[in-house]
Amino acid sequence: MNSTQPTSGQGSSAQKSELARQLDSTARAIFIIWIGIAMLLAISWGWFLVGLGILILAAQLARSQMNIKIEGFWVAWGALFLVGGLWTVLNITSRRGGDFRGGSSGSASARAVAGCRCAAAID
């Protein structure tokens, strides 16, 4: 048997470990670049979180495509950052009655009537 060939599984594991280390280093470098871009362009927190979530999820997708184990912890944080950022960017707020609106939806008269109903409910 040739001694330069790795035994079954060991070479593959070492290669995946090295590939995972390189991927993690690349993701950290892109993260630092993203922070610099966000600071230079004065990007809002919402867009910063969206970018961060995309970065984290893209790194996990790359791990999946390279047949490296996906880290569920980072998938959860990436999804949380993405949803939180979109929540902020889209200005989603809750109102009484459980409905949601984004931005300044609805006419002024509809908002005035809703205000009157709230005031009437208090009395």
Domain containing 77 equals: 11-90
Supply the pTM of this predicted model.
0.64
Indicate whether 101 and 57 sit together in one domain: no
64 versus 122: the higher-pLDDT residue is 64
Indicate whether 24 and 67 sit together in one domain: yes
Indicate whether 78 and 30 sit together in one domain: yes
Rg over alpha carbons for the chain, rounded to the nearest Å, is 24
> Is the per-residue pLDDT at 87 higher than 80?
yes
**Listed ranges 2-6, 64-68, 106-110; the one with the highest mean pLDDT:** 64-68
Indicate whether 77 and 20 sit together in one domain: yes
Per-residue pLDDT at 7: 46
What are the pLDDT digits (tens) for 34-83? 999 999 999 999 999 999 999 999 999 999 999 999 999 999 999 999 99
The first and second tokens of residue 54, run together, are: 């995309």
- Whole-angstrom distance, CA of residue 114 vs CA of residue 63: 50
> Is the per-residue pLDDT at 122 higher than 50?
yes
94 versus 92: the higher-pLDDT residue is 92
Question: In the beta sheet, which residues pair with residue 97?
Answer: none
CA distances from 109 to 61, 91, 113 (A): 47, 21, 6
